[in-house]
Amino acid sequence: MITVHHLENSQSIRILWLLEELGAEYKLQHYKRVGVNTLAPEEYKKLHPIGTSPTITDGDMVLAETNAIVDYILDKHPEQSLRPLPGSEERTRYLFWLHATQGSLMPLLIESLIFKRMISKVPFFIRPVTKLVVGKVRETYLNPRLNRLFGYIEAELGKSTWLAGEKLTAADIVMGYCLEVAEIRIGADDYPNIKGFLKRMRDRPAYKAAMEKNGEFKPLAD
Ligand SMILES: N[C@@H](CCC(=O)N[C@@H](CS)C(=O)NCC(=O)O)C(=O)O
């Protein structure tokens, strides 16, 4: 049976949601973040060489990386419908969003958090210079990319209920956490379709079940 090694307030929440949508049985082991940098504890780092959450184990098998875990779990549930059929238009949209979420959006959200921390955590006497440099990088690189991506997500969610079409897919499950984080760090008021997505996600029984197992959920704001 799969064990989800679940770091609190992390991307791992999606794996719980996915397993709940599939009605799969799984074990859950909770880990708390530690230290001023709120990283994973040493025992978590020992699970897999890259030491990041999510990580799952299944017997002797240990796997990290969100999308690798998503594919591993979906391969074990060939009867599932969370991955549209190859050759369909939905499949192409699914592939794009599954990979754009982890490959493009998530790194930008992490950079955004690191930039925030760079300002709050540096010694006060170099804070003004840090603020200036970070502001420039945000303005020229980070914000244009984030705005472009959010604009595209908003437009796609104007075309269909979920990112790949009318049915929920694993791409929505992976995207869900990013939009929760974005809502806190950036705000979603300018994005009514994204707000609608978040509401539909939170109304799903499987999402609620995942949240219940998770306990208090507070994605890192800064
Ligand atoms: N590319 C990885 C990124 C995973 C990642 O950065 N996870 C964060 C949690 S949101 C983490 O493990 N942070 C704790 C740490 O680095 O110690 C994935 O898709 O799973």
Q: What is the mean pLDDT of residues 28-44?
A: 94
What spacing in Å lies between the alpha carbon of 54 and ligand 1's midpoint?
7
Residue with CA closest to ligand 1 atom 18: 65
Residue 128 CB neighbours (<10 A): 9
Does the pLDDT of residue 166 top 70, yes or no? yes
| Radius of gyration, CA atoms only, the chain | 18
Yes or no: say if 12 and 6 are a contact pair by the CB < 8 Å rule.
yes
Fold classification of 2-80 is Glutaredoxin (3.40.30)
Among residues 13, 35, 16, the alpha carbon closest in space to that of 26 is found at: 16
* pLDDT number for residue 222: 66
**Class of the CATH-defined domain 89-205:** mainly alpha
Ligand 1 atom closest to residue 40's alpha carbon, by position in its atom list: 17
What spacing in Å lies between the alpha carbon of 174 and ligand 1's midpoint?
13
What spacing in Å lies between the alpha carbon of 71 and ligand 1's midpoint?
17
Q: What is the mean pLDDT of residues 129-142?
A: 91
* Report field, pTM of the whole predicted structure over 0.85: yes
Q: What is the mean pLDDT of residues 168-176?
A: 98
Residue with CA closest to ligand 1 atom 1: 65
Instruction: Express each pLDDT in 56-93 by its tens digit.
Output: 999 999 999 999 999 999 999 999 889 999 999 999 99
Looking at residue 39, what DSSP letter applies?
B
Residue with CA closest to ligand 1 atom 12: 52
Non-local CB neighbours of 204 within 8 Å, separated by 6+ positions: 21, 168
Does the pLDDT of residue 187 top 90, yes or no? no
Ligand 1 atom closest to residue 44's alpha carbon, by position in its atom list: 17
What spacing in Å lies between the alpha carbon of 31 and ligand 1's midpoint?
13
* pLDDT number for residue 217: 87
Q: Where are the domains of the chain?
A: 2-80, 89-205
Whole-number Å distance between alpha carbons of 198 and 196: 5
User: pLDDT band at 11, cuts 50/70/90?
Assistant: very high
Whole-number Å distance between alpha carbons of 19 and 1: 12
Residue with tokens 């307030």: 9
